[in-house]
Amino acid sequence: MELKTTGVAGTLESSDVMITLEPKTGGGIDLELQSTVLNSYGRQIKETVLATLDRLGVKNCAVTVNDHGALDCTIKARVECAFYRGCQYDVDGKYPWGGLIK
C-alpha cells in the first residue's frame, strides 16, 4: 500500500499527538517534529514514528508530528491511522489494526 492523499490522525489535546502523513515521490522520509517534551523525549518519539512507518512499509513520505506528551502506544496508533486514512484503505469497513499489522 502507498499513500494516495494526506492522512491525519490525532488531536492537539494534552497527552495526544497529531500525525500528518503526506505522499511524496522519492527521497525517503522527511520528519518534522514539534513537541512539548522535545528535549526529554524527542529522540524516542522520532524512533517510534520511523519504526512504525518501517513496519508499515512506508518508504517515501513527509511526516509532521505535533506532540503534546503522548505515550509510545498512542504515537504508534496515530501513525497507523494516518497511514490508512492516507491510503484510503477500507475493505468492508475493517482496518487491519493492532495485531493484524505485521
Which three cell numbers mark 9?
A: 490522525
Domain ranges, ordered by start, for the chain: 7-91
Residue 97 confidence (pLDDT):
60
Which of 35, 97, 98, 40 lies closest to 69 in space, CA to CA? Answer: 35
Which of 55, 78, 81 lies closest to 65 in space, CA to CA? Answer: 78
Q: Is the pLDDT of residue 75 over 80?
A: yes
pTM (two decimals): 0.88
Q: Is the pLDDT of residue 90 over 70?
A: no
CB contact at 8 A, 51 and 33: no
